[in-house]
Amino acid sequence: MRTHLPESWKIKMPATLLTPRAPSLRTANAVEQFAMDVREGLRKFPKQLSPKYFYDAIGSALFDAITLLPEYGLTRADERLLRRNAEPLALRLTPDLIVAELGSGSGRKTKPILQAISELQGPLTYYAIDGSSAALQRCSHELAGVPGAQVQPLECFYEEGLERIAEYRSRRERLLVLFLGSSIGNFERDDAAAFLAQIRKHLQAGDALLLGADLVKPRHQLLDAYDDPAGVTAAFNLNLLARINRELEADFNLRNFSHEARWCASERRVEMHLRSLTRQAVSIPGAECRVSFEQGETIWTESSHKFTPSELSQMAVRAGFICEAQWIDQEWPFAENLWIVE
């Protein structure tokens, strides 16, 4: 992926930053990290696993299926807002813009924004930052036909990608960061605030952040969205155990666990858990541990926080931004927030 770095970076960047990490080394580190997180998470009370591990090839395919479910309106609302407001959004942005997306995914929803900006401003560079090379390939393919947009995939952590862009962009270029799809909701609230402040640190006056965030809605609607009758979300959640079996040679029997979605009103979040249906023990050789479960015991796998429009404006100010505009979808309450740096 690094071969796609712009020419200017190749000149200015220290050689060490351009050298791709050896794939075998990276893979070994990733498996070690996964093993460590699984061991530590399953030692906690209540047991926990990080939602970042949902997205292996099967998990990503299941997530794509979730976005098509009639009960899960989040992605369609996000796409609708971006399509309908791409032009007003582009009109509010400064010239000489470059765009960076954190977690580019397939790139489908980004298309109208890039089209609107390039129609208004002329050719632009779009940096897709994602940890998954498969996602970056799909994104490059999806956006290849957008006239005037040059796609630069960066396979790295968000922070690392932003650091590089901030360091090597030219003085006159202004940066628009995209963080869409309400991924911010998967952070704990304090971590979300810290993450947004961290993004702000890499930005300068005239830069902007477009943040997509899902809004609070009736409990029954949220529970249907996260526990759909076709069982796709259940499969997505259970795949985490299947992934531990595949990658860490564990012996989880998936039939001994069930998917559970809960609405926690005080925290305004949907939680996903996996409940052990029986008293059992599981060996995880790749993480050098054996874990016991009581009947009914749960593993907490994800929180999906929901927001209010005014809370999002307050978050902007706390992170050091000005809330320039907020677009809300009426069909599935969801907010697209344009925050700028003054």
How far is it, in rounded angstroms, from Cα 77 to Cα 336?
Answer: 10
If the CB atoms of residues 71 and 87 are measured against ligand AVI, the closer one turns out to be 71
Tell the smallest beta-carbon distance from residue 303 to ligand AVI (Å).
Answer: 8
Does 293 bind ligand AVI (CB under 6 A)? Our answer is no
How far is it, in rounded angstroms, from Cα 307 to Cα 30?
Answer: 32
Does 304 bind ligand AVI (CB under 6 A)? Our answer is yes
If the CB atoms of residues 173 and 271 are measured against ligand AVI, the closer one turns out to be 271
Does 196 bind ligand AVI (CB under 6 A)? Our answer is no
Note if the bond before 46 is cis, omega within 30 degrees.
yes
How far is it, in rounded angstroms, from Cα 36 to Cα 118?
Answer: 44
How far is it, in rounded angstroms, from Cα 72 to Cα 228?
Answer: 8
How far is it, in rounded angstroms, from Cα 116 to Cα 9?
Answer: 26
Does 226 bind ligand AVI (CB under 6 A)? Our answer is yes
* DSSP assigned state of 262: E
15, with CB counted inside 10 A (0-12, 13-18, 19+), is: exposed
Does 107 bind ligand AVI (CB under 6 A)? Our answer is no
Residues in binding contact with ligand AVI, number by CB under 6 A: 11
**Residue from the set 186, 276, 298, 337 that interacts with ligand AVI by CB under 6 A:** 186
Tell the smallest beta-carbon distance from residue 72 to ligand AVI (Å).
Answer: 6
Tell the smallest beta-carbon distance from residue 147 to ligand AVI (Å).
Answer: 30
**Footprint of ligand AVI on 66-85 (CB under 6 A):** 66, 74
If the CB atoms of residues 124 and 263 are measured against ligand AVI, the closer one turns out to be 263
Which residue number is nearest to ligand AVI in terms of Cβ? Answer: 304
Structure tokens at 271: 């939680």
Q: What is the C-alpha end-to-end distance of the chain, expressed in Å? A: 34
- Identify the CA nearest to 261 among candidates 235, 222, 293: 222
Residue 160, beta-bridge partner list = none
Binding piece for ligand AVI, criterion CB under 6 A, among 1-9, 180-188, 277-285, 309-317: 180-188
Does 105 bind ligand AVI (CB under 6 A)? Our answer is no
If the CB atoms of residues 186 and 276 are measured against ligand AVI, the closer one turns out to be 186
- Identify the CA nearest to 6 among candidates 141, 121, 147, 170: 170
How far is it, in rounded angstroms, from Cα 269 to Cα 233?
Answer: 16
Does 234 bind ligand AVI (CB under 6 A)? Our answer is no
**Residue from the set 60, 104, 140, 183 that interacts with ligand AVI by CB under 6 A:** 183
If the CB atoms of residues 226 and 293 are measured against ligand AVI, the closer one turns out to be 226
If the CB atoms of residues 183 and 276 are measured against ligand AVI, the closer one turns out to be 183
Tell the smallest beta-carbon distance from residue 258 to ligand AVI (Å).
Answer: 15
**Helix, strand or coil, per DSSP, at residue 331:** coil
Cα separation values, 297 from 44, 47, 223, 236, 262, Å: 12, 8, 20, 19, 15
Structure tokens at 120: 């208004």
- Which residues, including other chains, have CB under 8 Å from residue 68's CB and lie 6 or more apart? none
**Residue from the set 107, 153, 161, 181 that interacts with ligand AVI by CB under 6 A:** 181
Binding piece for ligand AVI, criterion CB under 6 A, among 16-24, 26-34, 176-184, 318-326: 176-184
* Site for ligand AVI, rule CB under 6 A: 66, 74, 181-183, 185-186, 226, 233, 302, 304
